[in-house]
Structure 1
């Protein structure tokens, strides 16, 4: 089985994440997509605002009615800083019969040569690069081993980010329809992001 991994802080998870996962699921012919929240992201200057438990609860609420989406809390249980190489190594060790594909934006595909231990990583996992309208990615610029590990999948342009959602909430503006209804209710009940 091929399983797509959607990693991120998901602070909060939003409709854009779900649309991206659906595009990857369909176009890369995945069996499932696992949503894997990072515990502490290595390259972000600020820690997530919502606690690990709150981010996990929101992910569970967002995907519970999607039969091919699944929350997976491996990095939260492990604790510490979440590095992709370590995560992939652990996933393959615990699920040797699954072929994993890391789902990333096409803009991130260009940065793959700079990823930690990428030469080893491309032998352990493949990548689904989500390409938005108007974004041109030249795969020929990548080293052959990385290029061979990447499948491009088009997705619609969605100008939505967790940062924008948190900002709107802190300003007292609506985030309805930007996050799943169950996630919206959770944010309201728990007073997250300045609600």
Structure 2
């Protein structure tokens, strides 16, 4: 099997018997919803998605998982990871049940979701995990590395911006290839905010219409070289 297509497993790679790395905090949560992304930058859409998911799923916590080196965005790397994680932390300041968890800092690159989920289950064995994603990501799920294993490991909560009927159709189609897929809709008002669009406006000096909080904006302008 080629290096590109292989799936590594955290327990085999770490050689530590599954002990959680120093630097990752303990948690009292029993049910956790994982929310991965580059968060470049994190914005009100991310916050709304996580808050509504927290309320509608009944989980104890939603963990934001910044990706150091996502395979679908090769231009993003470790050099900005600490900066993006710090911006997420600023976004979530004072919000109970929402927290930044730099799980992927301790994992090999690139960052594959299946491995991140495995690491969470290995390092937090008493926690029941699920995974949060948008409907557009669900439609691309078959392109994800190790998707069969991922579908076995966690159920998905999916933001259904255009109603649940379209989502049901997508799920039914995916189950023809992924019979173990479990997906539940999260209701969310139409709030189509793109980090790419916001980044372009920031770089152009244009108004961002309050879609990025002042604390996050302050860190953005400082840049990754001034990460605190």
Q: Do these two structures clear the TM 0.5 threshold for a shared fold by scoring above it?
A: yes
Match of 1:141 among 173, 196, 199: 173
Task: Tell whether 2:34 aligns with 1:2.
Answer: no
Task: Tell whether 2:208 aligns with 1:179.
Answer: no
RMSD of aligned Cα (Å): 2.2
Distance 2:153 2:208 in 1: 38
Aligned length: 191
Distance apart, 1:79 and its partner CA: 5.2
Aligned to 1:72: 101
Aligned to 2:203: 170
Match of 2:185 among 143, 152, 156: 152
1:11 and 1:49 in contact (8 A); partners too: no
TM-score normalised to structure 1 length: 0.88
Aligned to 2:88: 59
**Runs (5+) with no aligned partner, structure 1:** none
Distance 1:118 1:140 in 2: 16
| Per-residue deviation, residues 52-110 of structure 1 (Å, max 9, x unmatched) | 12111111111121110011011124352100111111110001111111110112222
Distance 2:218 2:103 in 1: 26
**Runs (5+) with no aligned partner, structure 2:** 1-29
| Per-residue deviation, residues 137-165 of structure 1 (Å, max 9, x unmatched) | 21222216556511111111112111011
Distance 1:50 1:2 in 2: 32
Distance 1:77 1:89 in 2: 13
Distance 1:79 1:10 in 2: 19
Match of 1:95 among 99, 113, 124: 124
1:58 and 1:186 in contact (8 A); partners too: yes
Distance 1:10 1:110 in 2: 20
2:68 and 2:76 in contact (8 A); partners too: no
Q: Rg bigger for which structure?
A: 2
TM-score normalised to structure 2 length: 0.76
